[in-house]
Amino acid sequence: MTAEETPPIIEPTPVPMEPVPFPMGTSVVPQLGLPTDKSTLDVTFGRIALAVRDTFNDILSSKARLDSLTEQDLTDRGYTLQQIAQLRSAWNDLNKIVQVFYGEIDSTPAYDYSTFVRFLWGFGV
């Protein structure tokens, strides 16, 4: 083929847009995303439940560590007094969430536990 010749245009073969017949007169709808069978749901729900348990255990152990540190210990590590107050408030709130979860305390009236925890997210919002 020379430079002056153009290659032939190959038209795509049309794909039928009719539903694929399936037994009992239904049609197959392709599934998008994660499978939703029982086994997959069991694994997903179990993984999330274990993550909650592990997170709550981390909250309890880090709260105990924080409670063992004095203001002087924390200022020596570079925290300001305002940061120490925010940190202790956040960890007290997280500890209360764990206590509510395990039925150790009541959570009435409603309370926004994210107020001080938001400072720990790194955005201050």
The DSSP result for 2-35, as a single string, is: -TTSPPPPPPPPPPP-SPPB-GGG-B-----SS-
CA dihedral 87, 90, 93, 94 (to 10 degrees): -100
Contact 97, 106 (CB under 8 A): no
pLDDT higher than threshold 60 for residue 80: yes
Annotate 101-111 with b (16+ C-beta within 10 A) or e (fewer).
eeeeeeeeeee
pLDDT interval class at 18 (50, 70, 90): low
SS3 73: helix
Among 14-23, 27-36, 113-122, the range scoring the smallest mean pLDDT is 14-23
pLDDT higher than threshold 60 for residue 112: yes
